Amino acid sequence: MSMVTERPAHDRARVRSVAEADQVPGTAAVDPGPVAAPDWLAVVRAYVSLTKPRIIELLLVTTVPTMMVAAGGLPSLGLVAVVLVGGTLAAGAANALNCFIDRDIDQLMRRTKRRPLPNHVVSPRQALVFGLVLAVGSVVLMAVFTNWIATGLTLAAIAYYDLVYTLWLKRTTPQNTFWGGICGAAPVLIGWAAVTGGLAPVAWALFAVVFFWQLPHFYALAIKYKVDYARAGIPMLPVVASERRVGVEIVLFSWLTVGSSVLVWPLGMSLIYAVPAVVVGAVFLLEAHRLQRRSGRGLPVQPMRLFHWSTTYLTVLFVAVALDALI
């Protein structure tokens, strides 16, 4: 659980102060207004953008290796295709619905104001319908070709991300990243359940890796864009807490991430997995401690350095998971 202890009133005050410190008069909530009708190619790109493809790629990187471990090698290619397509549709649905719900704050943030809804390329109604269609398609596909556990987890992940995280947690508590990590790590469980029809200790250990990994990964991003989040009134941890405090939490959850990855080893993995896990885990911890030391001394930090390395860490780790299952 997040270590933040500020009261909600203090959080709101900190959000206001951070936003006001970087306020540029006349630019905070400017509505660009209606624009000329976009061409069909721009519309297609807009709908793809609603699904946030880069996030989907990262989710699928963890799913297929987990399926390989569950199958003890290569699972059925048909099943892999179903889970990949179903997972892509589910993640795309959750992200599109997230864009629909967050359209009010996206237009206030410099990082998100060019998204399709604030930019008036796609209407709110179109985004809502698109997200719901993708959600139904993903659940139906999983129900027909997998099993009830994988299907139920898919539906639960979409609902949790949009109804619990986006609508509630994201806007009300600095613990939003912690609790939001549940749906972000769900693809690991979905992939395992699709292969075996159940869940096992190694599946939960891999879930823990992805769950804890999200904290340092997204805290680093939130440090970079904390003024944006403050302007939109979103109480991300770096907005309501000091950089020193954020640095401590980044180190804590980085250790929990690497510790969970080591725990996977005795649950059926070999040195093919263990050696890369220890090596990339050590570098991950060095980067986390580096950020924490600089924040603790009041020095400028480079959060995107940790952010990008954390992506590399997760990719290398799950490539090692896949190789271990094959060899």
Tell me the DSSP string of 41-101: HHHHHHHHHHT-HHHHHHHHHHHHHHHHHHHTS---HHHHHHHHHHHHHHHHHHHHHHHHH
The verdict on 165 and 117 lying in the same domain is yes
| Radius of gyration of the CA atoms of the chain, in A | 20
The verdict on 114 and 194 lying in the same domain is yes
Domain assignment present for 216: yes
Domain assignment present for 30: no
- pTM equals 0.87
The verdict on 205 and 285 lying in the same domain is yes
The verdict on 168 and 58 lying in the same domain is yes
The verdict on 122 and 237 lying in the same domain is no
The verdict on 177 and 288 lying in the same domain is no
Domain assignment present for 19: no
Report which residue type is found at 28.
A
Domain assignment present for 268: yes
Domain assignment present for 91: yes
- Whole-angstrom distance, CA of residue 321 vs CA of residue 308: 20
106: which residues sit within 8 A by CB, 6+ positions away?
99, 112, 113, 115, 117, 118, 232
Give me the CATH number covering residue 231: 1.20.120.1780
| Domain of residue 174, residue span | 40-198
The verdict on 50 and 184 lying in the same domain is yes
| Alpha helix (H) residue ranges in 72-200 | 77-101, 103-106, 124-145, 148-159, 170-172, 176-196
Spell 35-62 as b/e; 16+ CB within 10 A means b: eeebeeeeeeebbebbbbeeebebbbbb
Number of domains comprising the chain: 2
Query: Beta-carbon neighbour count of residue 24 at 10 Å?
Result: 8
pLDDT digit string (tens) for the chain, length 327 residues: 344 444 455 555 565 555 554 444 444 444 555 555 557 888 899 999 999 888 777 777 899 999 999 999 999 999 999 999 999 999 999 999 999 999 999 999 988 888 999 988 999 999 999 999 999 999 999 999 999 999 999 999 999 999 999 999 999 999 999 999 999 999 999 999 999 999 999 999 999 999 999 999 999 999 999 999 999 999 999 999 998 999 999 999 999 999 999 999 999 899 999 999 999 999 999 999 999 999 888 788 899 999 999 999 999 999 999 999 998
The verdict on 138 and 259 lying in the same domain is no
pLDDT per residue as tens digits for the range 163-184: 999 999 999 999 999 999 999 9
pLDDT per residue as tens digits for the range 69-112: 999 999 999 999 999 999 999 999 999 999 999 999 999 998 88
